[in-house]
Amino acid sequence: MNNNNNNNYYNNNSMNQGNSKIQVVLRKRPLLQKEIEKGNGAEVVEVVNRQQINLLDPDEINHRYNLHYNVNKNRFKETHFTFDSVFDENSNNFQIYQEVGEQYLNDILEGFNTTIFAYGATGAGKTYTMVGSKDMPGLMNIMLDGLFQKVKQKEVTHDVTVRIAYMEIYNENLKDLISSDQKNLDLREDPKSDVTLIHGLTEVEVTDPQSIANILKIGAKNRSKDSTISNEASSRSHAILQISIESADRAEGLEKEIIVSKLSLVDLAGSERAWSNKSKVSKLEGAKINQSLLTLGNCIQALSEQSEKGPSKNNFIPYRGSKLTRLLKDSLGGNCRTVMIANISGSILSFEDTYNTLQYASRAKNIQVHVHKNVIQSSNHVSNYAAIIEKLNRENENLRNILNSENGRFPPINGNSPMHMNNQLDPQLSQQLEQLEQLVKVHFDEEQGCFRTIQESQMKQEKIYKMNLKLQQELQKGSANNQQAQHFREQLQINNQGMQNIQQTIQEMNQRFRSLQEGRKMIIQKVKGAQLPPKMITYLQNLVAVNEAAISNLEKELTYKQNEDKIREKEIEIAELSDQLQLRDRILIQQKNVLEQNEIAPHYSKFANIKDTNIIISSISPAYTQNHSININHNGGGYGNNYNNLNISMHSIDQDSIPSMTKINNNNRYSNPRQSADRVGRPVAKNILSIQDIQNLVKPKSKGKKRFIPSARVQSQVNLSAKNPTNFTNSPSGSNSSHKRPLYPYLNAKKQRVQKMQGDPLHSHTPQYQKQKKNMQSSMMEEQSTANISYSDTNLSPNSKNPYSSYNYQNYLVNKYTNHIYSIQNLESLDNSQRKSSNNTPSIKNKGGINKVQSQRNMPTFQQRKNIVEYDVHQSPYVKSFKNAEEAAASRKNKLMQLNLNLDHLKELYTKRQNNQ
Ligand SMILES: Nc1ncnc2c1ncn2[C@@H]1O[C@H](COP(=O)(O)OP(=O)(O)OP(=O)(O)O)[C@@H](O)[C@H]1O
Distance separating alpha carbons of residues 155 and 144, to the nearest angstrom:
16
| Distance between Cα 118 and ligand 1 center (Å) | 11
pLDDT at 105 over 50: yes
pLDDT at 59 over 60: yes
Give whichever of 1-10, 33-42, 86-95, 409-418 has the largest mean pLDDT. 86-95
Q: Annotated binding residue at 123?
A: yes
Which residue's C-alpha comes closest to atom 15 of ligand 1?
125
**Under a CB-based contact definition with an 8 Å cutoff, are residues 842 and 866 in contact?**
no
Range in 25-34, 244-253, 360-369, 602-611 with the lowest mean pLDDT: 602-611
Residue 196 φ/ψ, nearest 5 degrees: -85, 125
468 within domain boundaries: yes
If one residue of 28, 96, 119, 127 were mutated to test the ligand 1 pocket, choosing by the most ligand atoms within 8 A of its CB, it would be: 127
Which residue's C-alpha comes closest to atom 9 of ligand 1?
125
Same domain, 686 and 807: yes
7 within domain boundaries: no
Closest approach atom of ligand 1 to CA 230: 26
Distance separating alpha carbons of residues 241 and 166, to the nearest angstrom:
4
Which residue's C-alpha comes closest to atom 2 of ligand 1?
29
Same domain, 360 and 481: no
| β-bridge partners, 277 | none
Q: How many domains does the chain have?
A: 3
pLDDT band at 272 (very low <50, low <70, confident <90, very high): low
| Distance between Cα 181 and ligand 1 center (Å) | 28
If one residue of 45, 223, 231, 292 were mutated to test the ligand 1 pocket, choosing by the most ligand atoms within 8 A of its CB, it would be: 231
| Cβ of residue 126 lying under 6 Å from some atom of ligand 1 | yes
| Cβ of residue 357 lying under 6 Å from some atom of ligand 1 | no
Closest approach atom of ligand 1 to CA 89: 1
| Distance between Cα 119 and ligand 1 center (Å) | 12
Q: What is the pLDDT of residue 316?
A: 77
11 within domain boundaries: no
Q: Kindly state the helix (H) or strand (E) to which residue 292 belongs, with its residue range.
A: helix 283-309
Mention every residue, 6+ apart, whose C-beta is less than 8 A from residue 39.
31, 65, 67, 69, 347, 348, 349
| Cβ of residue 137 lying under 6 Å from some atom of ligand 1 | no
* Residue where one domain finishes, among candidates 328, 347, 376: 376
Range of the domain at 365: 20-376
Q: Kindly state the helix (H) or strand (E) to which residue 189 belongs, with its residue range.
A: strand 184-190
| Cβ of residue 346 lying under 6 Å from some atom of ligand 1 | no
- Report pLDDT digits (tens) over 622-646: 333 232 223 333 333 333 223 333 3
Range in 225-234, 354-363, 526-535 with the lowest mean pLDDT: 225-234
**Under a CB-based contact definition with an 8 Å cutoff, are residues 842 and 875 in contact?**
no
Q: Of residues 79 and 759, which shows the higher confidence score?
A: 79
| Distance between Cα 234 and ligand 1 center (Å) | 8
911 within domain boundaries: no
Q: Annotated binding residue at 269?
A: no
If one residue of 29, 45, 87 were mutated to test the ligand 1 pocket, choosing by the most ligand atoms within 8 A of its CB, it would be: 29
| Distance between Cα 846 and ligand 1 center (Å) | 134
Which residue's C-alpha comes closest to atom 1 of ligand 1?
29
Give whichever of 257-261, 284-288, 395-399 has the largest mean pLDDT. 257-261
Same domain, 87 and 203: yes
Q: Annotated binding residue at 42?
A: no
| Cβ of residue 231 lying under 6 Å from some atom of ligand 1 | yes
| Cβ of residue 136 lying under 6 Å from some atom of ligand 1 | no
Q: Annotated binding residue at 592?
A: no
- Buried/exposed code over 526-542 (b: 16+ C-beta within 10 A; e: otherwise): ebeebebbebbbbbbbb
Identity (one letter) of the amino acid at 275? W
Closest approach atom of ligand 1 to CA 234: 26
Which residue's C-alpha comes closest to atom 26 of ligand 1?
234
| Cβ of residue 30 lying under 6 Å from some atom of ligand 1 | yes
pLDDT at 244 over 60: yes
Identity (one letter) of the amino acid at 288? K
Same domain, 49 and 151: yes
pLDDT band at 576 (very low <50, low <70, confident <90, very high): low
| Distance between Cα 302 and ligand 1 center (Å) | 29
| Cβ of residue 125 lying under 6 Å from some atom of ligand 1 | yes
For this complex, say whether ipTM is above 0.90.
yes
| Distance between Cα 324 and ligand 1 center (Å) | 21
- Buried/exposed code over 73-100 (b: 16+ C-beta within 10 A; e: otherwise): eeebeeeebebbbbbbbebebeebbbbb
Comparing CA positions, the residue from 358, 178, 328 lying closest to residue 264 is 328
Comparing CA positions, the residue from 201, 199, 189 lying closest to residue 319 is 189
Q: Annotated binding residue at 297?
A: no
Same domain, 615 and 680: yes
| Cβ of residue 122 lying under 6 Å from some atom of ligand 1 | yes
CATH number, position 53 = 3.40.850.10
Q: Of residues 660 and 161, which shows the higher confidence score?
A: 161
Q: What is the pLDDT of residue 26?
A: 95
Same domain, 687 and 561: no
Same domain, 363 and 477: no
Comparing CA positions, the residue from 326, 343, 336 lying closest to residue 292 is 326
Q: Under DSSP, is residue 741 helix (H, G, I), strand (E, B) or coil?
A: coil
| Distance between Cα 419 and ligand 1 center (Å) | 54
| Distance between Cα 168 and ligand 1 center (Å) | 18
| Cβ of residue 32 lying under 6 Å from some atom of ligand 1 | yes
CA 437 centroid distance within chain: 47
| Distance between Cα 165 and ligand 1 center (Å) | 24
| β-bridge partners, 120 | 343
| Distance between Cα 132 and ligand 1 center (Å) | 8
Range in 302-316, 607-621, 800-814 with the lowest mean pLDDT: 607-621
pLDDT at 916 over 80: no
Comparing CA positions, the residue from 160, 58, 65 lying closest to residue 105 is 160
| Distance between Cα 27 and ligand 1 center (Å) | 11
Range in 199-203, 242-246, 300-304 with the lowest mean pLDDT: 300-304
Mention every residue, 6+ apart, whose C-beta is less than 8 A from residue 354.
44, 45, 55, 121, 124, 344, 345, 346
- Buried/exposed code over 752-782 (b: 16+ C-beta within 10 A; e: otherwise): ebbeebeeeeebeeeeebeebbeebeebbeb
Which residue's C-alpha comes closest to atom 10 of ligand 1?
125
4 within domain boundaries: no
| Cβ of residue 127 lying under 6 Å from some atom of ligand 1 | yes
119 within domain boundaries: yes
Mean pLDDT of the 375-393 span: 58
Q: Annotated binding residue at 219?
A: no
Q: What is the pLDDT of residue 207?
A: 86
CA 180 centroid distance within chain: 47
907 within domain boundaries: no
Distance separating alpha carbons of residues 828 and 605, to the nearest angstrom:
15
What are the angstrom distances between the C-alpha of 430 and each of 417, 440, 758?
A: 18, 15, 132
Which residue's C-alpha comes closest to atom 16 of ligand 1?
125
Distance separating alpha carbons of residues 292 and 274, to the nearest angstrom:
12
- Buried/exposed code over 11-45 (b: 16+ C-beta within 10 A; e: otherwise): eebeeeeeebbbbbbbbbbebbeebeebbbebbbb
What are the angstrom distances between the C-alpha of 855 and each of 207, 866, 873?
A: 121, 17, 21
| Distance between Cα 130 and ligand 1 center (Å) | 10
| Cβ of residue 133 lying under 6 Å from some atom of ligand 1 | yes
| Distance between Cα 142 and ligand 1 center (Å) | 17
- The rounded radius of gyration (Å) of the Cα atoms in the chain is 52
- Report pLDDT digits (tens) over 829-856: 333 333 333 333 333 333 332 223 222 2
Same domain, 656 and 678: yes
Same domain, 430 and 552: yes
| Distance between Cα 278 and ligand 1 center (Å) | 19
| Distance between Cα 363 and ligand 1 center (Å) | 23
- Report pLDDT digits (tens) over 550-565: 787 777 677 666 666 6
Distance separating alpha carbons of residues 767 and 666, to the nearest angstrom:
34
| Cβ of residue 602 lying under 6 Å from some atom of ligand 1 | no
| Distance between Cα 73 and ligand 1 center (Å) | 25
Distance separating alpha carbons of residues 700 and 708, to the nearest angstrom:
12
| Cβ of residue 138 lying under 6 Å from some atom of ligand 1 | no
pLDDT band at 890 (very low <50, low <70, confident <90, very high): low
- Report pLDDT digits (tens) over 217-242: 888 888 765 444 334 334 578 889 99
Q: Annotated binding residue at 120?
A: yes
pLDDT band at 462 (very low <50, low <70, confident <90, very high): confident
| Cβ of residue 235 lying under 6 Å from some atom of ligand 1 | yes
pLDDT at 473 over 60: yes
Comparing CA positions, the residue from 106, 350, 110, 331 lying closest to residue 238 is 331
Same domain, 282 and 305: yes
Q: Which ranges constitute the DSSP H helices of 637-744?
A: 691-698
Q: What is the mean pLDDT of the chain?
A: 63
Same domain, 552 and 636: no
Count H helices and E strands in the chain, helices first. 24, 20
Q: How many residues does the chain have?
A: 917
Closest approach atom of ligand 1 to CA 122: 25
* Residue where one domain finishes, among candidates 335, 358, 376: 376
| Cβ of residue 94 lying under 6 Å from some atom of ligand 1 | no
| Distance between Cα 355 and ligand 1 center (Å) | 18
| Cβ of residue 112 lying under 6 Å from some atom of ligand 1 | no
Residue 186 φ/ψ, nearest 5 degrees: -100, 140
Mention every residue, 6+ apart, whose C-beta is less than 8 A from residue 767.
none
3 within domain boundaries: no
DSSP state of 100: I
Q: Annotated binding residue at 545?
A: no
- Exposure of 494 by Cβ count < 10 A (0-12 exposed, 13-18 middle, 19+ buried)? exposed
Same domain, 354 and 408: no
Q: Under DSSP, is residue 550 helix (H, G, I), strand (E, B) or coil?
A: helix
* Residue where one domain finishes, among candidates 316, 347, 376: 376
Closest approach atom of ligand 1 to CA 232: 26
Q: What is the pLDDT of residue 668?
A: 28
| Cβ of residue 270 lying under 6 Å from some atom of ligand 1 | yes
